[in-house]
């Protein structure tokens, strides 16, 4: 019987995120510092004799099969290799969805890497990154698998040292649509309504807080205790710390319906051990 391949795929934080411009094809030029953290989804991939592949998760919303970016990864590899690749995939979600932590992109990267290993496709990292870029803007980064400075649409990556401090990651459990947030940025940019954004402030912070007044109130209260940063296009915030005593006041103010995680920075992804 075929043994399943079990992969741990990490989340990321945007330590910085600046939108520079909108390209003619609708994509956006960005500058960002991508930081890997030890918050993981688990992806299990197993070959199947069935004619069709399946993608299932433990999520409460329907992101199975065609609704999952990981399914696009299977289709992309099948098309590239001109062969039917049939496998069953189960994704145990732990990374908050729609939180700007890259969980879906990390899952897709894990599927590309896992299938490449399981089916002995012998694709190298550059080939996998090119395939990943057609699936999602952040997928190449998770295949690259190292904390990095990102340019272009997030596909021009340069490894850099990771943060030395720990992270308190705060998730309001609100889905923030990346597409909608970029459309809002485009609209405000065209109307010349984007005020000067301080250096190192996420380009989406003010837009997100204006869109989510129920989050803004708590964000402002927490920010009086410790500086918070937004990851991606939201909705997850984070701060750094050395010892837990530094964030005791912040922990007491986090709403009970929100999630929070104590995370360590990662220089490299555990997925890299499957790429030769």
Residues with catalytic annotation?
12, 138
C-alpha 34, offset from chain centre:
9
148 CB-near residues (< 8 Å, 6+ apart) = 33, 34, 141, 157, 158, 159, 160
What is the C-alpha R_g of the chain? 19
Sign of torsion over alpha carbons 265, 10, 200, 215: negative
Give the H/E segment covering residue 16.
Answer: strand 5-22
3-state secondary structure 54-111: EEEECCCCCCCHHHCHHHHHHHHHHHHHCCCCCEEEEEECCCCCCCCCCHHHHHHHHH
Asked if 5 and 44 count as a contact pair (C-beta separation under 8 A), the reply is yes
Pairing of strands 28-47, 54-57: unpaired
Phi, psi at residue 148, to the nearest 5°?
-150, 155
């Amino acid at each position: 019987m075929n043994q399943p391949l079990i992969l741990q795929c990490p989340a990321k934080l945007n330590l910085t995120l600046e939108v520079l411009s909108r390209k003619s094809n609708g994509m956006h030029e960005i500058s960002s510092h991508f930081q890997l953290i030890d918050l993981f989804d688990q992806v299990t991939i197993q070959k199947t004799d069935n004619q069709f592949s399946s993608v299932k998760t433990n999520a409460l919303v329907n992101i199975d099969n065609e609704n999952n970016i990981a399914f696009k990864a299977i289709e992309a590899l099948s098309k590239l290799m001109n062969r039917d690749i049939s496998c069953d995939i189960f994704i145990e979600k732990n990374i908050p969805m729609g939180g700007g932590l890259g969980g879906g992109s990390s899952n897709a990267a894990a599927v590309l890497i896992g299938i490449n290993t399981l089916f002995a496709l012998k694709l190298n990292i550059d080939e996998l990154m090119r395939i990943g870029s057609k699936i999602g803007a952040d997928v190449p980064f998770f295949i690259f698998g190292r904390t990095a400075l990102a340019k272009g649409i997030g596909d021009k990556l340069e490894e850099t040292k990771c943060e030395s401090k720990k992270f308190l990651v705060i998730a309001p459990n609100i889905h923030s649509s990346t597409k909608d947030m970029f459309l809002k940025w485009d609209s405000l940019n065209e109307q010349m309504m984007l005020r000067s954004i301080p250096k190192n402030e996420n380009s989406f912070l003010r837009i997100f807080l204006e869109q989510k007044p129920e989050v803004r109130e708590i964000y402002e209260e927490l920010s009086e205790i410790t500086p918070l940063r937004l990851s991606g296009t939201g909705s997850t915030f984070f701060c750094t710390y050395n010892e837990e005593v530094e964030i005791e006041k912040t922990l007491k103010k986090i709403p009970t319906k929100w999630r929070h995680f104590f995370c360590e920075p990662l220089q490299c992804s555990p997925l890299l051990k499957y790429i030769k």
